[in-house]
Structure 1
Amino acid sequence: MRRIPSDPDLQDMKPPGWFLLALEGRAVWELGASFFAAPVLRSAPAGDGHPVLVFPGLVMGDFSTTVLRNYIAQRGYASYAWEQGLNFGPRPGVIESCLERVQELHARHKERVSLVGWSLGGIYAREIAKQIPDHVRMVITLGTPFAGNPKANNAWRLYELASGQSIEEDMRARHLPTTPPVPTTSIYSRTDGVVAWRCSVERESSRSENIEIQSSHVGMCMNPTALYAVADRLAQSREEWKRFDAGGLKGVKKLLYRSAP
């Protein structure tokens, strides 16, 4: 097992280098792979119909999560987009609107809502779960930088430009590394070209986990291994939640996933 860096190590983290950033172009291949992997993706556990709200990444909108949301719906869940246009960061009123949406879905379905967030969208999912845990079933993040140096990514300048806020002041003002009080899964990739992967590593416990995949950052919402992992996690019972089993599919998952760094 590889050592998880301590907090001081994380504060010294740098963004991914130019080589990994250049590899983000493979996202188009990940989209194609999701179609070729359809038979395997259909073998993921079927859903129970509970509501799932999906949050997009920085300066992205609901179109960017279309593949992910469609797959979630195909597996048997009530899949919802965030419906707030492009994500320009947690500007005044944004988190409040997200809280209201979760509460509305909870009331409509009479069930807790699972929150799935890609990149910055994962920050929303985690913070909402901390504020209204009685409305949230679980949190799943993909390539979300919730720990360590706020500038250990290649998008911090874009964040400041889009949000009009200092990323260091904004992120450190929140208790981002604190794990939400609901079952929590962080899906990340060591070959992420935007976010330093160590900043996406959750403190593991009986209710929290990490799943490592091979993926770009941009393609994580359509990477077949990410899609399968999301479906597998959504199928978990809130009362009897168990960590991801990398030994299924006759050992294939052992080749594709790592459940701990």
Structure 2
Amino acid sequence: MAGFPLLRTAREYWQASEVARRIALAREPQPDGARGPRRELLMGELGYLIEPWRRRRDSWSPPPAKHPRTVLLIPGFGAHPGRMRYLARQLEAAGHRAKRWGLGINLGAARDTIERLEERLCDIQARNGGAPVHLVGWSLGGVFARELAKRHPDKVAKVVTLGAPFSGHPRANNGWRAYHLIAGHRVEEPPIEALVSEKPPVETVALWSPRDGVVHPRSARGRAGERDRAVALRCTHMGFVHSREGVEAVLRELDSV
């Protein structure tokens, strides 16, 4: 590259212009009618930092599963699968089989995101003897889970979303600016065709919380017809996968028939 100064300059210019474009996306004004949770609720999300200490004081262990399931866990935007490790461990302690989504950190929707998830789902189902798989998606991961179930309803037994923004305005949350900056596109203009609010043709349950500091409760709860049931919790957005309340809610959904 040192021998091609024009090429180096062009590359630097492209990188600088791309950064500027993403910053401009992140600085767009909040649309009318799109409101995220209150700021104090967002600050409350920091409580997840002491969850490991709380868990050490709580000797709770999950009861044995009545119906052991194979579960595909899909993390939220900006989250590594390790963020769902506590949930995965508790599911396995109860007798379920928890599987990672296999795509690393969730950096937003890309052109091949759903296709790669389809391959992962098909592989897990084949290894599961052909039995349908349960999908548990946290935040943006819940949106992906719903889209995956729409494409493969024969391979999905049930979808459980945890604070997923599938209803209402796509910017009715406190994370859309970070999404624009990192993903490089508007949250309402993903590089995949999807009618996010459309309910998958399998049982779909939305777990939501009025204490969610990231996604507006209305967006995570959804409207009648956009999901089969909506279950209210009292945890934070991070608490869906870090708190005992969140884990117990997922366990109940996996055991229900």
Identify if the C-alpha distance between structure 1 residues 173 and 100 changes in structure 2 by more than 3 Å, giving closer, same or farther. closer
- Partner of residue 15, structure 1: 36
* Correspondence 1:69-108 to 2 at 5 A: 69-108=88-127
- Please, which runs of 5 or more residues in structure 2 have no aligned partner? 1-31
The residue number in structure 2 matching 1:145 is 165
Query: C-alpha distance in 1, partners of 2:250/2:59?
Result: 15
How big is the shift at 1:76? 0.9
The aligned amino acid for 1:217 is H
Residue 109 of structure 2 contacts residue 192 of structure 2 at CA under 8 Å; is this kept in 1? no
Corresponding residue number in structure 1 for 2:28: none
The 8 Å contact of residues 31 and 223 in structure 1, kept in 2 or not, is answered as no
Report matched runs for 1:92-131 at 5 Å. 92-110=111-129, 111-131=131-151
Q: Normalised by the size of structure 2, how large is the TM-score?
A: 0.81
For residues 231-259 of structure 1, the C-alpha deviation after alignment (integer angstroms, 9 at most, x for no partner) is 1111123xxxxxxxxxxxxxxxxxxxxxx
- Count of residue correspondences: 224
**Aligned residues: CA RMSD:** 2.1
Aligned mates of 1:182, 1:37 — CA distance in 2 = 35
Q: Percent identity between the aligned chains?
A: 33
2:48 aligned residue = 27
SS at match of 1:221: helix
Query: Does the 8 Å CA contact 2:62/2:90 hold for their aligned counterparts?
Result: no
Q: Distance in 2 between matches of 1:76 and 1:204?
A: 32
User: Is contact 2:150–2:201 with CA below 8 Å preserved after alignment?
Assistant: yes
8 Å CA contact 2:111–2:192 kept in 1: the answer is: no
Which position in structure 1 is the counterpart of 2:154? 134
- Distance in 2, matches of 1:57 and 1:149, equals 18
Answer yes or no: is 1:158 the counterpart of 2:183: no
Secondary structure of the 1:46 match is: coil
Deviations 1:101-120 (A, max 9, x none): 11111111121000001111
**Any stretches of 5+ residues in structure 1 without a counterpart?**
1-10, 238-261
Q: Distance in 1 between matches of 2:220 and 2:136?
A: 14
> How big is the shift at 1:222?
1.4
The verdict on how the C-alpha distance between 1:85 and 1:35 changes in structure 2, with shifts beyond 3 A counting, is: same
Map of 2:13 onto structure 1? none
SS for the counterpart of 2:241 is: coil
Alignment partners' CA distance in 1, 2:191 and 2:221: 16
